[in-house]
């Protein structure tokens, strides 16, 4: 015989009354895993070999974050992150190539 409800036959979950902490407390993945992606996207490097990407201002300081960029064309030279602030990212690479980028909040 199998269960017919995910909450049990009494209407309450099996941990009802056993769970520690406030009933309003939630546990999200951001509390389980420290580093997480806070911004990501793609940009096309212009004719001068550079592009600046703007994103919504992040909390804290730039050193709280890690920037990663990857050129989508595997036959060209690598792309470099030349500057990172809490609201922009500067990339340098080969002109007219699309670059995928992401900003990661470092820490635990």
Q: Determine the pLDDT at residue 48.
A: 84
Q: Determine the pLDDT at residue 53.
A: 95
Q: Determine the pLDDT at residue 52.
A: 94
Question: d(Cα 77, Cα 72) in Å, to the nearest integer?
Answer: 11
Q: 73: which 2 tokens?
A: 């064309």
User: Tens of pLDDT along 25-79?
Assistant: 666 666 666 678 899 999 999 888 899 999 999 999 999 999 999 988 777 667 8
Query: 22 by DSSP, 3-state: which?
Result: coil
Q: Determine the pLDDT at residue 13.
A: 55
Angle at 69 between CA 52 and CA 51, to 5 degrees: 20
Please report which confidence band the pLDDT of residue 103 belongs to, taking 50, 70 and 90 as the band edges: very high
Residue 105 has pLDDT above 60, yes or no: yes
Q: Determine the pLDDT at residue 11.
A: 55
Residue 108 has pLDDT above 70, yes or no: no
The counts of H helices and E strands in the chain are: 1, 6
């Amino acid at each position: 015989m199998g269960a017919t409800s995910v909450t049990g036959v009494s209407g309450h979950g099996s941990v009802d009354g056993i769970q520690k902490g406030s009933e309003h407390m939630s546990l999200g993945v951001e509390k389980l895993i420290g580093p997480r992606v806070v911004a990501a996207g793609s940009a096309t490097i212009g004719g001068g070999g550079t592009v600046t990407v703007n994103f919504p201002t992040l909390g804290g300081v730039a050193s709280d974050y890690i920037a990663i960029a990857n050129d989508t064309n595997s036959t060209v030279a690598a792309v470099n992150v030349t500057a990172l602030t809490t609201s922009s990212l500067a990339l340098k690479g080969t002109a007219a190539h699309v670059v995928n980028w992401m900003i990661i909040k470092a820490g635990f």
